[in-house]
Structure 1
Amino acid sequence: MPVQAPTECDLSTLSDVAAVLAPALSGGRRHDAQLVAGERGQFATDLSTVYVSAAQTVPAGMTVVRAMTLGIALQSSPTKEMVSALDWSLLTPRERRALRIAEGRAAMGWAIASWPAMSPDYATLAPGHRAEPADGIDELLQRASALARSNLVLDVPELFGVPPGSRPLSRHRERIAGDGRRRNRVPWSSRRNLRHMRLAMPVGGTEGESPRLVIFEEAPDSEGESSDADRRLGVPYPEWDYRLNRYRQDFVTVVERRISPRYSRNIDLDPRIRRWFMAPHALARRSRMEDGDQLDVSAYVEQFGWSRAGGHVDDRIYEAMLPAQRDVATALLLDATSSLQGRGGAGFRLQLACSDALCAGMSSTAERFAVFAFTGETRHRVEVTRLRNFDDPAWALPAGAAIRPSGYTRLGAALRHVTRRLVQAPAERRVLLSIGDAVPSDEGYEGTYADADVNRAVDEAIAAGVVFRQLAVGKTTDAQLERRFGSGRFHRVSKSEDLPSVLARVHKELTYL
């Protein structure tokens, strides 16, 4: 017979035990554990915290702690990281169940290989499922595909839990989640009827107007910007809090998704833009030249010695500053948030026109470049869409027309993510060009707090050896741009015809950096 559910006193003890087991079984990859109950109370993980089912059915002869240990071991498996990057929404319900079973069996294989004594207990709690270690995501997907095509009934054992990123709720959390949204201060929680308005804009307003008459500053120790139920799985990044003078570690989650680029060999390009990308962006001093702006002392001494010894004399005894060979990787970051919907989307269309011109120029010179667009909703989900990767063919252009402005602008997290991708690109020189209205706005991400975080993200990029420039397409003031990006790191573009002249100024700056 199943063991009775633990009492409230037992729950406190189980919570303490789970908090110790999660880091220990995962080798530090999971930092904490949390007990959940209710209909949605299942085993799960967001790759940081392990959520433990407090109402798990335990067979006779097995303790609750031992059954909990088996579930935590599965949530500590590296296979969770393997499947975390998959878009589960693209799968049918049967395919999702098949993938959960394939991943659960692989997790059992990992756990049994690490702790062989667990094997009999897994056979008891997951009957009919054998341990199958997996070497990679491709092997897991092949197994899941075979299961989905079979005629088997796909029942997922309770012990396997739910996919990474699906955060379970307790009854108490289910009750308070709605209350938190109703009391939240941000516009999307409001029940006002805005149908009479021609245009309704999120937090930051159209073209950067202030959304409130009174500036609201959060308390420095306030980190509950939104309901914990909104957390999504992705890449964690810190966020700078100028009030505390420190980073909030793993505070923002960035989710990257991909849109396949379009392929075209017919590119209409302004010749001035082509010349900009063909020109070198750096100068280097070359020695042993026949002519130059100064004497090469080492070459002169060497030739003087040869002349006194009666040897051949070479006239190449000068140094000159000449264009260096161009080895540049460029990343474009586009603003795909709702703030660019103002004036009928004119700002967004201008941004796409600038992006297309830049991409056409880089494609014509076979330069390595990538294009990203970002949007988001709260710190728990900042979406970065990869429109083109660095290793795509030269004639692959970003599918920018496939995106539509939506969501909010947590610019600092997007800059950190694209900087990370750019630093990984093999190149001697790396350039990050951000295009947008440069108005950061999100839940709890406004005013001085947001400006300070964006400025810190730009400083981090520059410290990593990345050349950063912001191409501002909105009406943000120069003072605001300088506060966010720093002096000399931004340029204005009011129409697509301005791009060649703006690039000329950027090129002049890059040449002498």
Structure 2
Amino acid sequence: MTDLDQTAAMALERSCSVTAVALSEENRAGVRLVTGDHRGFGLSVSRSHVHVPYPVLRTDWTRRSLTCGIALQCASSKDRLGQYRINELSARELRALTVVEAGVALGWIAARWPGLMPEFDRLLPELAPADPQLEARDMIGRAIETARGSDQAELDPLLGRLPAIYTAPTGLTDRLRRQFGRMPWTTTQQRMPRPYSVPVGGDGGVRNPNLPPPSRPQDNDTDVTPEHRPGIPYPEWNSWTERLMPDHVAVVELARDRRVGAPTTTSADLRKWFQEDTHRAMVSRLEDGSDLDIDQYVRHYVDLRTGEAGEPRLFRDLLPCDRDVNTALLLDGSSSLGVHGGRVFRLELACADALSRAMTHARERHGIFVFTGNTRHRVEVRCLKDFPEARFVPPSGMGLSAGGYTRLGAPIRHLTSRLLDQPSERRLLIIIGDGMISDEGYEGRYAWSDAAHAVEEANEAGVSVYYVGVGPTRVDPLPEVFGPKRSQRISRVEELPRVLARVHRELIST
């Protein structure tokens, strides 16, 4: 068993991202883990991210082996070759071009990162370094000549895939497709008319008081799991079989891509709730308390006998004396928040601004994230502010817009993992949204049970989860999914202090 077997997916992705940025001298923005039978090293269509297979493809690969695979994808020869439509080559010519380009990339690595060469000698002993400045036209010419020769050996998975040509979509249709994909609350399923049958999530974007029937993953998820899917894999709870389905959902964490502007909402003053102590310690010499302080009682008795007794303080109690909390604020960015003229979405942003300002002023270590998605194969979690950052980030000034789906279980599991990486005694996840849990193949009580199971997993790991529901609803899943004491629905930002009072009681409870 290699050292990679014990490495968590998210930690591995972050580590490899640092490697990719460093080796490429910031020509690559990071790494995306890729799952599926056809997983392998490669580049995204824009060549901004390196694809890294997870789990690893060979048992003899180590973390240094992954560094070698990433280095091959960071070579400048990939960018030169990416300007040509290599898809017009035959399969035999493409295999030859993969080997030729790998030699050029290895020459680039030998000149810049010679410390990796011993690992390349171990993994690819037959691959020789070539001229790192070789032009793409010459690489293609050599590959065509090589393809005419003898039989080719099977390609080593460390070489990865060649980049496809990238043409940036600029039309209105392309922008709408990227933002919305297939609109939520629609489905290709055909159900027989029954009293409970309604369109998924409602009719025409209007909430329906009826709850859709629970999904069955084996029936409703009509698209086949991709054999080459980017993202960190997470399980999903199947309420029908009462088992976790491993690697069922892929979560892609994205960095902030917009400049922070001024907040567009008026925030309430909530600072005091993030300055309250949460760490409890035994305090002695109290006038009243839950336990008798034996040592102090003996001292007081001796003082009485010697005539030097002062005021008796004979009790002790477990009291809050310090604050040690890491907080993650998770915003629902799905399309259901855009109804009613965007009023619900504006209320969510107002709550997020208030919480962000309060945590910043109280110097509470916190991160801010927004999630949306497009089926189980791509749940996006965008990081607006990471935990080490100390500045104030108003979500209303980030240019956010509602779009996509609400597959809630995966973001909860992802933020739980992120919080567990933070050093603190208490960890808190506050989710703000409308409470509508809906995605393709993720409806009704099936979706509720998965979200509830994700909350239970977080609680067992030591992460307290609290949901702040915004806006009206006819069927409210929050009491059942999160519990009546860990969820509350509000209609105005001024009601947040009442919510935070409950959160604080939860944090200091034993």
8 Å contact from structure 1 (residues 254, 381) kept in 2: yes
Pick the aligned partner of 2:453 from 443, 453, 456.
456
Structure 1 pair 396–444 and aligned structure 2 pair: CA distance change class (3 A): closer
In 2, Cα distance between equivalents of 1:250 and 1:342: 32
What letter matches 2:186 in structure 1? P
* Structure 1 unaligned regions, length at least 5: 1-22, 30-43, 54-71, 130-146, 167-184, 191-200
| Deviation string, structure 1 residues 178-218 (Cα, Å, up to 9, x no partner) | xxxxxxx983669xxxxxxxxxx975664653799x73642
| Deviation string, structure 1 residues 424-483 (Cα, Å, up to 9, x no partner) | 111221111100011111111111211110000011111111221111113335752222
- Paired residue for 1:293? 289
Alignment of 1:330-341 (within 5 A): 330-341=327-338
In 1, Cα distance between equivalents of 2:200 and 2:422: 35
- Paired residue for 2:161? 162
Q: 1:93 offset after TM fit, Å?
A: 7.9
| Deviation string, structure 1 residues 319-377 (Cα, Å, up to 9, x no partner) | 24543211111111100111111111111111011000100111111111111100111
In 2, Cα distance between equivalents of 1:85 and 1:116: 16
TM-score, normalised via structure 2 length: 0.64
Pick the aligned partner of 1:262 from 257, 260, 273.
260
Structure 1 pair 49–486 and aligned structure 2 pair: CA distance change class (3 A): same
In 2, Cα distance between equivalents of 1:265 and 1:346: 16
- Paired residue for 2:93? none
- Paired residue for 2:173? none
- Paired residue for 2:413? 416
Pick the aligned partner of 1:94 from 70, 79, 85.
79
What letter matches 1:437 in structure 2? D
8 Å contact from structure 2 (residues 350, 493) kept in 1: yes
Structure 1 pair 399–93 and aligned structure 2 pair: CA distance change class (3 A): farther
- Paired residue for 1:187? 186
- Secondary structure, counterpart of 1:49 in structure 2: coil
- Paired residue for 2:315? 318
What letter matches 1:462 in structure 2? N
RMSD of equivalent CA atoms: 4.8
Alignment of 1:491-502 (within 5 A): 491-502=488-499
Q: 1:398 offset after TM fit, Å?
A: 4.5
Q: 1:317 offset after TM fit, Å?
A: 3.1
- Paired residue for 2:213? 215
In 2, Cα distance between equivalents of 1:409 and 1:102: 45
Q: 1:378 offset after TM fit, Å?
A: 1.2
Pick the aligned partner of 2:34 from 46, 52, 64.
46
Structure 1 pair 163–152 and aligned structure 2 pair: CA distance change class (3 A): closer
8 Å contact from structure 1 (residues 77, 111) kept in 2: no
- Secondary structure, counterpart of 2:355 in structure 1: helix
The size of the alignment, in residue pairs, is 401
In 1, Cα distance between equivalents of 2:239 and 2:466: 23
- Paired residue for 2:54? none
- Paired residue for 2:44? none
In 2, Cα distance between equivalents of 1:28 and 1:330: 27
- Paired residue for 1:137? none
- Secondary structure, counterpart of 1:119 in structure 2: coil
8 Å contact from structure 2 (residues 254, 383) kept in 1: yes
In 1, Cα distance between equivalents of 2:33 and 2:285: 62
Q: 1:393 offset after TM fit, Å?
A: 1.7
- Paired residue for 1:4? none
Alignment of 1:72-471 (within 5 A): 78=63, 94=79, 97=82, 105=106, 113=119, 116=122, 118-120=124-126, 122-123=127-128, 128=130, 152-153=135-136, 155=139, 160-162=159-161, 187=186, 203=201, 206=205, 208-209=207-208, 215=213, 217-218=215-216, 221=218, 224-229=221-226, 232-259=229-256, 262=260, 269-271=267-269, 273-281=270-278, 284-289=281-286, 291-293=287-289, 296-303=292-299, 307=303, 315-320=312-317, 322-398=319-395, 401-471=398-468
What letter matches 1:262 in structure 2? V
8 Å contact from structure 2 (residues 68, 119) kept in 1: no
What letter matches 2:332 in structure 1? D
Structure 1 pair 74–207 and aligned structure 2 pair: CA distance change class (3 A): farther
In 2, Cα distance between equivalents of 1:249 and 1:153: 42
What letter matches 1:352 in structure 2? L
Alignment of 1:15-30 (within 5 A): none
8 Å contact from structure 2 (residues 215, 442) kept in 1: no
8 Å contact from structure 2 (residues 255, 384) kept in 1: yes
- Secondary structure, counterpart of 2:404 in structure 1: coil
- Secondary structure, counterpart of 2:398 in structure 1: helix
8 Å contact from structure 1 (residues 45, 164) kept in 2: no
8 Å contact from structure 1 (residues 387, 400) kept in 2: no
Structure 1 pair 111–351 and aligned structure 2 pair: CA distance change class (3 A): same
Structure 1 pair 438–45 and aligned structure 2 pair: CA distance change class (3 A): closer
Structure 1 pair 188–432 and aligned structure 2 pair: CA distance change class (3 A): same
Structure 1 pair 396–438 and aligned structure 2 pair: CA distance change class (3 A): closer
8 Å contact from structure 2 (residues 350, 396) kept in 1: no
Q: 1:233 offset after TM fit, Å?
A: 1.0
